[in-house]
Structure 1
Amino acid sequence: MATTPRQTNLDGLSALVTGGSRGLGLLLSARLARRGCRVTMAARDADELRRGAEWVEERTGATVSTAVCDVRDRDAVDAMVQQADSRQGGLDVVIANAGVIQVAPVASIDSGAFEDAMATIFGGTVNTAMAALPRLYRSDSGGRLCLIGSVGGLLTVPHLLPYSCAKAAVGALGEGLRAETADKNVSVTTVHPGLMRTGSHLQAEFGDRTSKEFAWFSALAGAPVVSMDAERAAERILRALERRRTRLVLTPAARAASIAHGVAPATVTRLSGLAARVLPDAPGGEGAEGTAERGTVQGHHIDRPAHTLTEKVRGWGSVLNDRAARRYNQRTPGPPTGG
């Protein structure tokens, strides 16, 4: 028989956020802290994590704990969850947010890109969920597990194929865990954000024609109407957790795309094919800019020549996203830790 949760809000609970040092994870950590939660922020870059914790503490007046952890390492995740549980006197809320974004045409990548995305996004989510669930079952308030997927996992996005595959797996995991824990003292919420202004374009990895790939991605991710304010997104996610919702799809564009794909998947796939034709193609050939031989380049390091058409287009669409990058601890290069 299911245990009736004693608490409907998140106030004063113990929370763990992976990928918590920047972007969406940073904002979720801050909003949890404002609710009086005992927050543990986890990420794999120690310096970035320290700056993120300082950012949260300066804005909330709360004290947060940190844990350096690579979510791809199952033993490290087990130790992190155990540490957070012991330090905070139990775990009530766990948000699996860590991830990586790779942007390139499939012709310019190899299977390693898929393995990396699956290991970080899906494997990291599995490791976090499996380590957290036994502790969430014991929560006096009724445990809450949140998995951060993506609209890219509901329908495949051109030039984001490894990312889409891994996020699709996260979506399946969330649905399955929700079903199999229905009679337990825990709820599982899977969130599928659309484009958000988190500044993640500077941490994303770009391959092939790196400048052009960076331009379209950063412009769309920061465009008004198409993308969503990250602060608002974080609040919507926490409200979904409070209400123990099964699924949340953020942004009207993402919801419309998800519905369209469910109703007419073949048509949406054809439209995606048309969209792919206007994106930078893989030039091939040794020495071409950003080819597979060069691997990927993080957004921080991409040369963006001023006064070029590509940079003008990028600048027009990404002003808000560049501002978000400065605001949400995305500026300094570091390993991927979250959206």
Structure 2
Amino acid sequence: MDTLSDLSVLVTGGSRGLGLLLARQCVERRCDVTVAARDEEELDRAVGLLRRRARGTTVTGRVCDVTDRAAVHELVEGTATDQRGLDVVIANAGNIQVGPAEESGTEAFRSAMETMFFGSLHTAMESLPHLRDSPAGGRLGVIGSVGGLLPVPHLLPYSCAKSAVAALADGLHAEQAEHGVSVTAVHPGLMRTGSHHQVELSGDEGKEFAWFATLAGLPGLSMDALRAAERIVRALEQRRTRVVLTPAAHLGAKAYGVAPALVTRTNELVSRLLPEPDDSGREGRSRWQSAVSALNDRAAQRLNQTRA
């Protein structure tokens, strides 16, 4: 198995959550790492956390909005110059919209596509020439989701964008193999990253926040974020085509592939259990829901997810 040790790495969406942990895994492998994100203050905190673990390697933060291809071009070219090339790029930037599709509105779908699909596309297109020149053989990791392998009620903007990301990753894998670049599609299920503090809510915001935060922190259904990051980086090292994380995500993706109509009918029942539109704010968890999601709340503190 190849390793990522001592390589040049770029991680978009690297200032918090899963992206921060992916960057940390690379720093611990003695890579020179650049993390990119939109929020400069959040980015500075992330770089500080990563530099504590760096041993003789560089950690750099670059402000970048991945929806802007010109900005991504500048990010990639600057990183390649500073780090004497690019060996590994992880397209991770994303956002999550939670609520009924009608309440979310078309702008939520547009935002999801701009950030997750076009953000991944811009990152890939700008990086591929450098990855083809990598002496180590370039690696591109594209972070999708189980939500891109089967549609999830009240997460439809996210699911639609991640579905496009899945097609992009698989298509690029086929096209880039002859150039010596491996493309790994990563489809996590629920993870305890503290992402519930960053979601964009619509409808009955309190109840929407409650169900998402609870499930994302539920042991057995959600996955420890550090373990997820370790598995993702190992998949990049092994140049795997696709990795799906959590047993529930495996089961859901396989079920939808074999019996899509049955899964869709099941989703009808799930949708009936989810909140009706209202506007109640972020507070909405019952006492037991708060207890269940405590693991995710602690993850939010560790992974730079809490709002200022």
TM bin (shorter chain): over 0.9
* 1:19 equivalenced with 2:13 (yes/no): yes
Equivalent in the alignment of 1:336:
none
Choose the corresponding residue for 2:66, options 67, 71, 76. 71
Query: Cα deviations across residues 107-131 of structure 1 (Å, max 9, x unaligned)?
Result: 2122111111000010100000000
Structural mapping, 1:314-333, within 5 Å: 314-333=289-308
Q: Which range is displaced more, 56-65 or 89-98? A: 56-65
Equivalent in the alignment of 1:184:
179
Decide whether the 8 Å contact of 1:16 with 1:91 is kept in 2: yes
d(CA) in 1 for partners of 2:97 and 2:292?
20
Amino acid at match of 2:130: R
Say which SS state the counterpart of residue 226 (structure 1) adopts. Answer: coil
Structural mapping, 1:1-339, within 5 Å: 8-61=2-55, 62-282=57-277, 288-289=278-279, 302-304=281-283, 310-333=285-308
d(CA) in 1 for partners of 2:16 and 2:207?
25
Quick one: higher RCO (CA 8 Å, sep 6+), 1 or 2? 1
d(CA) in 1 for partners of 2:75 and 2:269?
44
d(CA) in 2 for partners of 1:231 and 1:60?
17
Say which SS state the counterpart of residue 229 (structure 2) adopts. Answer: helix
* 5+ long unaligned stretches in structure 1: 1-6, 283-287, 291-301, 334-339
Identity %: 57
The count of corresponding residues between Structure 1 and Structure 2 is 307
Q: Which consecutive segments of 4 or more residues in structure 1 shift more than 4 A?
A: none
TM-score normalised to structure 2 length: 0.97
When the two chains are superposed, the root-mean-square deviation of aligned CA atoms in Å is: 1.2
Amino acid at match of 2:156: L
**C-alpha deviation, 1:60, in angstroms:** 4.1
**C-alpha deviation, 1:243, in angstroms:** 0.4
Query: Cα deviations across residues 226-263 of structure 1 (Å, max 9, x unaligned)?
Result: 00000000000000000000000000110011111111
* 5+ long unaligned stretches in structure 2: none
Say which SS state the counterpart of residue 135 (structure 2) adopts. Answer: coil
d(CA) in 2 for partners of 1:93 and 1:268?
36
Amino acid at match of 1:322: D
